[in-house]
Amino acid sequence: MDNKQRAQRVEKLAVAARLHDIAIQMSEGEASRLMKIFAVLERLDPGAYLIGAGPYTQGVFSLMCDEVVIGRHATPLEQRLDVPVDVHVNDGVTLTPREVSRVHCMIYRREGVTRHDYWLIDRGSTCGTYLNGEKLDPPTTASPEDVAQASRSLSDGDVISLGPSGVNNFLFVDLRKRK
């Protein structure tokens, strides 16, 4: 088998798997899916979370540290970066990236008046970071003033999208008031 044949086989497998996955999800029914999501949310401890809702972001990610970097692994065509990424998005549909940068954005917390507040900042991503549909501008310098001006505060229910398509998205969930 040559590389062209391998590529064709990988492509066929990828398309078939994606279609099969969608068929399984749709056959389950919305009510059943909602009940499962509700059950997960009910079990979470008080805290702040990202709930991945896109096909490449699925999962529940705790935000219990001061900084969480969101990005992706290098593809075989890219050089590896020596930068830690906490939440990995598998955006390499054709083994090459579509919208997610290796270091895309960061959520950080800082001490507020009565509690820690969570903030979102774009880390110079290629396709942009969006908060509730609004594109964030990355800071022009690393100065605390520029970082603060480019950051946006997060509130329960905010949608974070990595790129304009809305495929790679997360819901910010703040359960700190839960008893």
Tens of pLDDT along 5-31? Answer: 999 999 999 889 889 988 988 898 899
What is the DSSP pairing of strand 67-71 with strand 87-88?
parallel
Which structure tokens are listed for 145? 């003033």
Residue 62 and residue 172: Cα distance in Å, rounded?
10
Same domain, 36 and 55: no
- The pTM of the full predicted model, rounded to 2 decimals, is 0.86
Residues 101-130 pLDDT 10s: 999 999 999 876 566 699 999 999 999 999
Q: Is there a single domain that holds both residue 77 and residue 108?
A: yes
Q: Please report which residue ranges of the chain form alpha helices under DSSP H.
A: 3-28, 30-43, 144-150
> Are residues 56 and 92 both part of a single domain?
yes
CA 176, 61, 161, 146 dihedral sign is: positive
Same domain, 32 and 59: no
Examine the domain organization and report whether 33 and 85 are in the same domain: no
Range of the domain at 143: 47-174
